Chains A and B, each alone.
Chain A
Amino acid sequence: MNLILIAVIVLGAIGLVSALVLFLASHKFAVHEDPRIVQVAEVLPQANCGGCGFPGCSGFAAACVKAADGGSLEGKNCPVGGQPVMERVANILGMTAAPSAPKVAVVRCNGTCENRPRLVSYDGAQSCRVQNMTGMGETGCAYGCLGCGDCVKACQFGAISMNPETGLPEVDEDKCTACGACAKACPRGIIEIRLKGPKGRRVVVLCNNKDKGALANKVCKASCIGCGKCVKTCEKFEAITLVNNLAYIDAEKCKMCRKCEEACPKHAIHGFNFPPKKVVADAPAKPVAEKPAEAATQTPKAPVEESTVINNVKQ
Chain B
Amino acid sequence: MKTFNIGGVHPAENKLSAASPIRKAQLPKQAVFSMFQHIGAPAKPVVKKGDEVKVGTLLAEAGGFVSAPVYSSVSGKVSKVDVALDASGTRRPAIYVDVEGDEWEDSIDRSETLVKLSDRPELDAKTIVEKIKNAGIVGLGGATFPCHVKLTPPPGCKAECVIINAVECEPYLTADHRLMLEHADEILVGVELIMKAVDVKRGYIGIENNKPDAIRLMTEKAAAHEGIEVVPLKVKYPQGGEKQLIDAVIGRQVPAPPAIPINVGAVVQNVGTAFAIYEAVMKNKPLIDRIITVTGKSVKQPSNLLARLGTPFQQLIDECGGLPEDTGKVIGGGPMMGKALISLEVPMTKGSSGLLLMTDEEARRSTPQPCIRCAKCVSACPMGLEPYLLSKISEKQMWDKAEAEDITSCIECGSCQFTCPSHRPLLDMIRVGKSTVMGIIKSRAAK
Contacts and interface: CB of A to CB of B under 8 A. Distances in A.
User: Taking the complex as a whole, does A directly touch B, i.e. does some CB pair lie under 8 Å apart?
Assistant: yes
Interface of A: 119-120, 123-125, 127, 129-130, 133-136, 142, 211, 215
Given A119-B342, A120-B342, A123-B364, A133 B435 contact: yes
Given A119-B343, A135-B339, A215-B83, 7 more contacts: A119-B342, A130-B428, A133-B431, A134-B342, A135-B90, A135-B342, A142-B91
B429 interface: yes
Interface in B425-447: 425, 428-429, 431-432, 435
Q: Which of A119, A123, A129: most chain B Cβ within 10 A?
A: A129
Nearest to A124: B428
Contacts of B429: 125, 127, 130
Contacts of B364: 123
B88 interface: yes
B199 to A, nearest CB: 40
Given A119-B342, A120-B342, A133-B435, A127 B89 contact: no
A134 B89 contact: yes
A71 to B, nearest CB: 30
Contacts of A136: 89-91, 342
B365 interface: yes
Interface of A is mostly: loop
B82 to A, nearest CB: 9
Contact of A142 (B90, B340, B365, B395): B90
B340 A134 contact: yes
A124 B83 CA distance: 27
A159 to B, nearest CB: 19
B19 interface: no
Contacts of A134: 89, 339-340, 342
B363 interface: yes
Contact of B365 (A123, A130, A211): A123
Nearest to B428: A125
Nearest to B364: A123
Contacts of A129: 432
Contacts of B343: 119-120
B425 A135 contact: no
Interface residues of B, number: 20
A102 B163 CA distance: 63
A211 B91 contact: yes
B204 to A, nearest CB: 35
Interface of B: 83, 88-91, 339-340, 342-343, 363-365, 368, 395, 425, 428-429, 431-432, 435
B428 A127 contact: yes
A307 B58 CA distance: 56
Contacts of A135: 88-90, 339, 342
Nearest to B343: A119
Nearest to B435: A133
Contacts of B428: 124-125, 127, 130
B312 to A, nearest CB: 17
A207 to B, nearest CB: 17
Given A130-B432, A133-B431, A136-B342, A123 B363 contact: yes
Given A119-B342, A119-B343, A136-B342, A127 B432 contact: yes
Contacts of B435: 133
Contacts of A127: 395, 428-429, 432
Contacts of B363: 123
A159 B88 CA distance: 34
Nearest to A184: B397
Nearest to A120: B342
A1 to B, nearest CB: 60
A127 B90 CA distance: 18
A136 B91 CA distance: 8
A135 B91 CA distance: 9
A310 B425 CA distance: 46
A215 B82 CA distance: 11
A136 B341 CA distance: 10
Q: Which 4 A-B pairs have the closest CB atoms?
A: A135-B89, A125-B425, A125-B428, A130-B428
A127 B431 CA distance: 12
A142 B90 CA distance: 7
A135 B90 CA distance: 5
B320 to A, nearest CB: 22
16 contacts: A119-B343, A120-B342, A120-B343, A123-B365, A125-B428, A129-B432, A133-B431, A134-B339, A134-B340, A135-B90, A136-B90, A136-B342, A142-B90, A211-B91, A215-B83, A215-B91
Nearest to B82: A212
Nearest to A129: B432
